[in-house]
A and B are shown apart, each in its own frame.
Chain A
Amino acid sequence: MVNSNGIVLQMKGAGLGYNGKAIVHDVDLEIRSGDILCLLGQNGAGKTTLFRTMLGFIKPVYGTISVDGRDLSRLSPKEVAGFVSYVPQSYAMPFSYKVRDVVLFGRTAHLGLFAAPGKKDRSIAAECLEILEMAHLADRSFNELSGGERQMVIIARALAQEARFMILDEPASNLDYGNQVRVIRKIRELAGRSIGILMATHHPDHAFMTASRVAVLAAGRLSHKGSPDAMLTPETLKSVYGVDVQVFDAPDDGAGTRKVCAPVVG
């Protein structure tokens, strides 16, 4: 089944790892435009390896990864960037570029080797800042921004890339509570623009808030693929995180109910 705008990012029976040695086995994974897939799992479970494969940095040890029916490991960096954008965890840059310029760097994949961005690229970049409500910071220096603002700018940069899929590495970690919620809201909005999203998170609550689907990466396998409500049961959470967690239904401002987690501490 292919939905209306058709593009699928897909791993089939893939083994992921380095130097011919798989550390994550038999991955079957499929992301469509408009999907939000949340990836949960402990540190060191192989999320980074999975992302690196999805971005074409490393080839799968066995099995295939394809985007829009084409073998992703055969595409050039420029072609991959036309399909998949990447939002790394927030950080400081060695040089303090202006916010406007940082977003403009998202246009790289659309430019020739010797070209610099033109008027159209600038207006796309400005529009992306607008979408993330960061336009008022356009002339500020990136390194002077708060963690939440930086994350938004980097998401704007990925958006300016105009790729159909976006991979986010723990976009809401290291942010204060308000900014976590703001970032989550924006990610939901992006999915509404029919971008397919794969994000890693440490918080099952983030999955409940955003995800159309979840998957759990543990012990070298991808498991518990399905809807968050069905998959993220107290038993699963106990097995992933090793602590007791209760899951409740909470009213979500007119939009029905949403599940929330409450770890048992007493």
Chain B
Amino acid sequence: MKSISLILLCMCVLAGICILSLGIGRYPVSPGTIISWLITGGIADVNVPLIMEGIRLPRLIAAIAAGGALAISGAAYQGLFRNPMVSPDILGVSSGAGFGAALAILLSMPAAVVQIMSFTGGISAVLVAVAVSRAIGKGNDSVLVLVLSGIVVSSLFGALLSMLKYVADPLDKLPAITYWLMGSLADIRMRELKTVLFMVTAGAVPLMLVSWRLNVLSFGEEEARSLGLHTGMMRAVVIVCATMVTASVISVCGIIGWVGLVVPHISRFVAGPNHRMLLPVSFLIGAAFMLAVDTVARSAVSVEIPIGIITAVAGAPFFIWVMKKSSIHSW
């Protein structure tokens, strides 16, 4: 079947980028050596397993999880809000997470607390947005009210974040906050990676399972309901899963823009609009994109480039190209 071969193709591309990425770095290893090491488990150079298992592999897994998670929740949100211009932070998860992290950094908390507060901040922002939309919508919960509440909550947390940056020590805390906000996979270790992987799996699997029904939801509230969809429950599933996935990624990687917006478009261009295919393909392309970007971020110049900068610089022209190619057909 055509769809299965597309998934396989995406997997092969991702695997290829994995091999290349593992080899690239301050201590280069040829793809051939890596492949033979992966297959046989034996290698002459004793440094290679150390570098791979200690540094490059955790980072590779983190890039795959983060890219895939942001892309799949972006694709799910675009279906839910029936709008291809929506990204996973439409309900305020990014600004809430940024605020939480900045607060923890300002209070000189250890890294683990920064992550926990960032995660909590992201989830709280979305909860506030949903609560506000419920209070305003009085039961007839429209998508528009939800989006507007999200925008309000986003800008509120954005303002609070600015306030924290304003009072932060400009020599010490402010650079830390700013750097955190630009996003990086450099500090990922196996311990937090396990938690993130668990969260991403717990969120992405239900999204994949309801992917076909996302199509129906994209017809709008009433029509979806007339087709027999329990729209309220469906929307709750998507928001809970996407928020959990996005907040857990942001809490360890910082705010990485663009992936959740651009990758679903690229995927729609490749796989068509049916969410049944769109979600898995988005995950794979998002993972491959993030891995490629992170490899550039850590190896292009001698200092690490914040990943958010590269996703935007690489994403913008690519997005324009995709829009030109697909201007009518894909949305």
Contact = CB atoms under 8 A, between A and B. Distances in A.
B226 A116 contact: no
B253 interface: no
Given A52-B222, A105-B216, A117-B212, A96 B330 contact: yes
A82, A106, A113: most-surrounded residue (chain B CB, <10 A) = A113
Given A55-B226, A108-B213, A96 B329 contact: yes
B226 A85 contact: yes
A94 interface: yes
A249 to B, nearest CB: 38
A77 B331 contact: no
Given A113-B210, A141-B329, A57 B222 contact: yes
A62 interface: no
Q: SS class of chain B's interface: helix, strand, loop or mixed? A: loop
Nearest to A94: B82
A215 to B, nearest CB: 21
Interface in A106-155: 106, 108-111, 113-117, 141
B227 interface: yes
Contacts of B212: 111, 115-117
Given A81-B228, A86-B223, A114 B273 contact: no
A105 B215 contact: yes
B228 A108 contact: yes
A77 B273 contact: no
Interface residues of A, number: 35
Contacts, number: 85
B329 to A, nearest CB: 6
B319 interface: no
A65 interface: no
A109 B225 contact: no
Contacts of A114: 209-210
Contacts of A80: 226, 228
Interface in A59-104: 76-78, 80-82, 84-86, 88, 93-98, 101
Interface in B201-258: 209-210, 212-213, 215-216, 218-219, 222-223, 225-231
Contacts of A56: 225
Contacts of A210: none
Nearest to B209: A114
A96 B331 contact: yes
A10 interface: no
Given A116-B212, A116-B276, A117-B212, A93 B227 contact: no
A86 B227 CA distance: 8
B274 interface: yes
Contacts of B276: 116
B125 to A, nearest CB: 25
B64 to A, nearest CB: 24
Nearest to B237: A113
Contacts of A82: 228
Nearest to A141: B329
Contact of B219 (A93, A110, A113, A116): A93
B223 A77 contact: no
A105 B219 contact: yes
A161 interface: yes
B96 interface: no
Given A77-B229, A85-B226, A88-B222, 18 more contacts: A57-B226, A76-B230, A80-B226, A80-B228, A94-B83, A95-B82, A95-B215, A96-B330, A97-B273, A98-B274, A108-B213, A108-B229, A113-B213, A114-B209, A116-B212, A117-B212, A157-B227, A161-B228
5 contacts: A78-B228, A94-B82, A101-B274, A109-B227, A116-B276
Interface of A: 52, 55-57, 76-78, 80-82, 84-86, 88, 93-98, 101, 105-106, 108-111, 113-117, 141, 157, 161
Interface of B: 79, 82-84, 209-210, 212-213, 215-216, 218-219, 222-223, 225-231, 268, 272-274, 276, 329-331
Pairs of residues from A and B, 9 with the lowest C-beta to C-beta distance, nearest first: A109-B228, A81-B228, A86-B226, A95-B273, A114-B209, A116-B212, A94-B82, A108-B227, A78-B228
